[in-house]
Chains A and B, each alone.
Chain A
Amino acid sequence: MSNLLEEIGLGRERIEMVNVSSAMAVQFAEAVENVTQRVRELGPNPLQATRGSDNEE
Chain B
Amino acid sequence: MSDGPKSEMPFDPKIVAFCCRHCAYAAADLAGAMRLHYPHSVRIVDVPCSGRVDPLEMLRAFERGVDGLLVAG
Contacts and interface: CB of A to CB of B under 8 A. Distances in A.
- Direct A/B contact, Cβ within 8 angstroms: yes
* Among all A-B residue pairs, the 7 with the closest Cβ atoms: A22-B26, A39-B68, A29-B38, A25-B30, A25-B31, A28-B27, A39-B13
A39 B72 contact: no
Interface residues of B, number: 37
25 contacts: A1-B55, A4-B55, A14-B68, A15-B68, A15-B71, A16-B68, A17-B71, A18-B71, A19-B72, A20-B23, A20-B24, A22-B30, A24-B23, A25-B28, A25-B34, A28-B31, A29-B31, A31-B70, A31-B72, A44-B11, A44-B13, A44-B67, A45-B62, A45-B65, A47-B62
Nearest to B37: A29
| Residue of A14, A20, A48 with most chain B CB atoms under a 10 A cut-off | A20
